[in-house]
Amino acid sequence: MRVVRGLNLPANAPAAVTIGNFDGMHLGHRALLRQLQAEAAVRGLQTSVLTFNPHPREFFARRAAQGDAKNVPARLHTLREKLEALAGAGIDETRVCPFNTEFAALSPEGFVRRVLIDAMQARHVLIGDDFRFGARRSGDFALLEQLGHRHGFTVSALDAQCLGASRISSSQVREALAAGDLKRAEALLGYSYSMAGRVVRGRQLGRTIGVPTANVQIRHDPLPLRGVFVVDVMLDQTDLAVPRTSQRYTGVANLGYRPTLGGDPRPLLEVHLFDYDGDLYGAHLDVRFLAKLRDEMTFANFDALTRQIRDDLIQARAYFDLQPIQ
């Protein structure tokens, strides 16, 4: 998949285009991309996605709060994870536009001319049923159709995708994750929610109690979920000095800010792999969250935290029908 950043470099071929944040790549997104591929195929066009960084809601929330992250929506996926998901869906080109003050001020006409025509060579535009565009979300489907007639592209819309009576959306996924309802999140996404990153050096406190943890460097802040979780982990060590094939392990993970240990300004993902003995520094871990054991808690002292960690290990091993450690 070709990735283009910004608007200066034009598309290399006429395209069927869809537009969205694609945060979390849920079942609604996948339906939209399948329809985009169908529209492109009948017209002999390449498939092209327009997405934004940061998320427009994040941009406006930070601007309104003057940088305070309190009301900023949690990102479900990093930009890298989003691009990997779009590539995996078979999209030919993704254009990442910086969402900033200048972009937010584009009129509907300016958006169509500068983005869809000049940069993306749009010949067909497929949108979701709730799509709005231009400054103050002033453009809608009817206006996009009018502008399409003027500029030489057609427009179609995909109806909302539902799970039961609820519309599938990234907001629904965020609500499910924040509530610890991983089964509902999985139903909306079509897969278990995960985070990925490289293992970096930490404080190594887990080793002192016989529970070594891998500190996974993540870029999700604020977090979409917090607590202690049963996980399975894809371990990829192909970038290390002695390459190994990817392997999957089970384990338990803490995701949060470690309040008992003084707290951390940035979120941490700490993963303990069951029945693994080796050096993980530099390895890439893809951590899937399968079940929530408890919320992140503040304990009176390190000994109380240690006892709870032992209980967490027992519960997590039981989830996988593993024998408890003697």
Task: pLDDT band for 68, please (50, 70, 90 cuts).
Answer: low
Question: What does pTM read for this prediction?
Answer: 0.90
Task: Categorize the per-residue pLDDT at 317 as very low, low, confident or very high, splitting at 50, 70 and 90.
Answer: very high
**Average per-residue pLDDT for the chain:** 90
Residue 172 CA to residue 188 CA, distance in Å, equals 8
- For residue 174, being part of any structural domain is answered with no
For residue 12, being part of any structural domain is answered with yes
Q: Residue 4 to residues 19, 87, 120: CA-CA distances in angstroms?
A: 14, 13, 10
Give CA–CA dist 118/150, Å, rounded: 14
User: Does the pLDDT value for residue 182 go beyond 60?
Assistant: yes
Judge if 162 and 17 occupy the same domain.
yes
Kind of pairing between the strands at 214-216 and 194-200: antiparallel
In a domain, 97, yes or no: yes
Question: Can you give the pLDDT at residue 19?
Answer: 97
List C-alpha distances in Å: 302 to 71, 258, 259, 297, 309.
Answer: 32, 11, 11, 12, 10
- Any domain includes 326: no
Share of the chain above pLDDT 70, in %: 90
User: What CATH number is attached to the domain comprising 105?
Assistant: 3.40.50.620
185 belongs to a structural domain: no
- The reply to whether 21 and 163 lie within a common domain is yes
pLDDT at 37: 98
| CATH for 206 | 2.40.30.30
Q: How many domains does the chain have?
A: 2
Residue 181 lies in a domain: no
Domain containing 98 equals 2-167
Other beta carbons within 10 angstroms of residue 274's beta carbon come to 16
pLDDT digits (tens, 9 = 90+) for 217-255: 998 888 999 999 999 999 886 654 444 556 889 999 999
pLDDT in tens, 36-49: 999 999 999 999 99
Query: Are both 161 and 19 inside the same structural domain?
Result: yes
User: Cα 195 to the chain's mean position, in Å?
Assistant: 8
Cβ count near 247 (within 10 Å): 12
pLDDT at 302: 81
Q: 130 with 223, same domain?
A: no
Same domain for 151 and 34?
Answer: yes
Average pLDDT, stretch 287-310? 90
CA dihedral angle for residue 26, residue 18, residue 55, residue 166, rounded to 10 degrees:
-40
C-alpha neighbours within 13 Å on the C-beta side of residue 191 = 13
% of the chain at pLDDT higher than 90? 71
Identify whether the C-beta of residue 46 lies closer than 8 Å to the C-beta of residue 55.
no
Strands 46-53, 15-19: pairing kind: parallel
Query: pLDDT tens-digit profile of 191-221?
Result: 999 999 999 987 766 666 778 899 999 988 8
Per DSSP, the three-state class of 94 is strand
pLDDT at 238: 60
